[in-house]
Amino acid sequence: MPAMVRAALLSNYAATAKRLGLDPRAYLAQHELPMSVLNQPDRRIPASIINALLEQSALDSGCTTFGLEMASTRQMSDFGVVGLLLTHQPSLRAALKITQDYRYLLNDSLIIDVEESDNLAIIREEIVSDNQLSNQQTNNYGLGVLFKMFQAFLGNQWRPHSVYFSHRMPSDPKAFREFFGCPCYFAADFNGLVCTSRDLDTPNQVADPVMRTYLERFLESLRSESPLSLGDEVRQAIALLLPLGRSSIDQIAPTLGVHPRTLQRRLQEQALSYSSLLLETRVELLKRYMANGQYSLGSIAELLGYSSAPAFTRWFQEQFNESPRSYRQRLYPSIHAARAVPSLTRKK
């Protein structure tokens, strides 16, 4: 089943498109979306369509920050009932957990993970799309919205320690630094922002525990409507954690809020195998990375959770009966040829 998102994600698309010289009606129509969808916030749309719409809009407008432009006017109310629940969470840490717990009501393709070390927290946010198109604008949009959510809790003067993007440095990196107010790094191995652990635990002074309980009960009544299967949830969690070398069921299960044995039992009940889901996800991500000239074979190995090139090559040959290099040369000769020319610098 394709990943779905709420049409509310497009609530400010028309204004952004017009400001940048585009006809929003025409662009929505190109992607088989009626203008009326902008007034139907709870309508569900395939995430791949949103992704394609934003990428095309950025390309035609010449605005490499199209996603950030849309994020700049997002408010907590745009999240619907989940947004109201977020405003009553005791801290940002709790709000991030709620965002992940109820992502099926917001954005099925969104995965968030928090990793902490030395009083710093890395909040990784990935968009797992159903196609092989670039996710640059949707990732930028997602990070921009995450930044705005942090400011809603910590005040408009708050700034992250740093922000990381997996895409190459754009022609106007200054616009990114101005938006986030901190150093921005590109061609990174993940999309996310870094803050202090104290930021995550700063008490939310306006949280109402009574309202929070009411909203949680209401949203729990909707949980049966989740379009995500268990297999889909596991695949998304694997896709998020593979680049960190965390691919075992013991490492994946906590991200889904369950004990590893519980996850194993639920998978068996649905005739699913964790090892098969891991393999399927690796192969799907591999094909996407191989088609993207931004990634070297060494980078692809790391993104798929392999700490050494020989281990990656052995796995690859078992799956495809050829080496990674010959595979890319056969299917993507232009990428292979381009990567044969050594790069003298790596811009950030």
DSSP state of 111: E
Q: Is residue 330 part of a domain?
A: yes
Between 338 and 114, the higher pLDDT residue:
114
- Whether residue 13 is contained in a domain is answered as yes
Please tell me whether residues 254 and 115 are part of one structural domain: no
Whether residue 20 is found in the same domain as residue 58: yes
Q: Where does 185-229 have alpha helices with state H? A: 197-201, 209-220
Tokens of 243: 């680049």
Q: Say if residues 216 and 84 touch (Cβ distance below 8 Å).
A: no
pTM of the model: 0.71
8 A C-beta contact, residue 80 and residue 6: yes
Higher pLDDT, 9 or 80: 9
36 shares its domain with 140: yes
Confidence of residue 202 (pLDDT cuts 50, 70, 90): very high
Alpha-helical runs (H) found in 121-196: 136-154, 173-180
> 215-257: per-residue pLDDT in tens?
888 777 666 555 668 888 888 788 877 877 788 898 888 777 6
Considering the domain architecture, whether residues 161 and 261 belong to the same structural domain is answered as no
User: Residue 336: what pLDDT?
Assistant: 58
Give the residue with greater pLDDT, 311 vs 246. 311
Residue 276 belongs to domain with CATH number: 1.10.10.60
Residue 106 CA, chain-centre distance (Å), reads: 12
Q: Which of 93, 70, 73, 72 shows the shortest CA–CA distance to 154?
A: 93
Based on the domain organization, do 288 and 168 belong to the same domain? no
- Domain final residue pick, 201, 220, 255: 201
Residue 25: inside a domain? yes
Domain co-membership, 20 together with 165: yes
Domain limits for position 281? 231-348
- pLDDT tens readout for residues 318-347: 999 999 999 998 888 877 566 554 443 333
In this structure, what CATH number is given to the domain that contains residue 62? 3.90.1520
Q: Is residue 207 part of a domain?
A: no
Beta strands in the chain (DSSP E): 4-6, 44-46, 110-117, 120-127, 162-164, 184-185, 192-196
Tally Cβ neighbours within 10 Å of residue 264. Answer: 17
Do 281 and 235 meet the contact criterion of CB atoms below 8 Å apart?
yes
The verdict on 32 and 136 lying in the same domain is yes
Please tell me the distance from the alpha carbon of residue 175 to that of residue 307, in angstroms, as a whole number: 35
pLDDT in tens, 144-172: 999 999 999 999 999 999 999 988 888 87
For residues 189 and 242, membership in a common domain is answered with: no
Q: What angle do CA 131, 135, 138 make, to 5 degrees?
A: 120
Residue 14 lies in a domain: yes
In the structure, what pLDDT confidence band is assigned to residue 4 with cuts at 50, 70 and 90?
A: confident
Are residues 244 and 195 part of one domain? Answer: no
In a domain, 226, yes or no: no
202: buried, middle or exposed (CB in 10 Å: 19+, 13-18, 0-12)? middle
242 and 195 inside one domain:
no
Query: How many structural domains comprise the chain?
Result: 2
Residue 134: what residue type?
Answer: S
Q: Is residue 206 a part of any domain in this protein? A: no
pLDDT band at residue 180, thresholds of 50, 70 and 90?
very high
Report yes or no on 221 lying in a domain.
no
C-alpha triplet 178, 179, 183: angle, nearest 5°: 60
Residues 195 and 239 in one domain: no
195 and 328 housed in the same domain: no
pLDDT, tens digit, for every residue of 252-303? 887 776 788 888 998 998 999 999 999 999 998 888 888 878 788 888 898 8
Mean pLDDT, the chain, rounded, equals 85
